[in-house]
Amino acid sequence: MGTDAAGMSYQVRGLEPALFEQFFDLDDAALAGRGMRRVRADQPVGYPCRISLEDASVGEELLLLPFAHQDAATPFRASGPIFVRRGQPAAARVVNELPVCLTLRPLSVRAYDRADEMVDAEVIDGREATPLIERYLARADVAYLHVHFARRGCFACRIDRA
């Protein structure tokens, strides 16, 4: 299967803000024409920004939009809805720990090989996901991971070896 997972370093990456900033200046009709909409967080947990990998604060503006998170030409090509916040200066980069927003939810951790084919997957409580992440990344056949929020299936982030 792979090597011993103990001590496997990994990096959790958010999405680049430049992909989304231009959409915040669109009016609601233009957003709707692109399958997007503006929302305001109305609870402290429930609006996880895919750039910062943090839940938005109550009252904060976000966009809910479709995003092709697995854009490979394989049967595993996929897209789905994500939230992004305005004004995020850079994509989150978190090493050897999970952002809090991931620990608050059940997760689907999906392992992909270099050909972008899914080779394994597991649903796990976010508080218990680190050993699974390390075990998957220790495998020679795994190139990277995608994490989804298990309840709604939305893409959360990508994880690579650090």
Rounded to the nearest 10 degrees, how much is the dihedral formed by the CA atoms of 21, 26, 30, 36?
40
Cα–Cα distance for residue pair 86/155, rounded to 1 Å: 19
pLDDT tens string 16-35: 999 999 999 999 999 999 99
pLDDT tens string 91-139: 999 999 999 999 999 999 999 999 999 999 999 999 999 999 999 999 9
pLDDT tens string 54-91: 999 999 999 999 999 999 999 999 999 999 999 999 99
Q: What are the C-alpha distances in Å from 6 to residues 3, 18, 113, 120, 131?
A: 9, 36, 21, 19, 8
Q: Give the phi and the psi of residue 119 in degrees, each rounded to 5.
A: -110, -15
Dmax (CA) for the chain in angstroms is 53
pTM beyond cutoff 0.85: yes
Rounded to the nearest 10 degrees, how much is the dihedral formed by the CA atoms of 22, 23, 26, 32?
160
Residues paired with residue 144 on neighbouring β-strands, in sequence order: 112
Specify whether the CB–CB gap between 13 and 145 falls below 8 A.
Answer: no
Q: Which of 17, 138, 3, 159 is nearest to 82 (CA)?
A: 17
Domain extents for the chain?
10-161
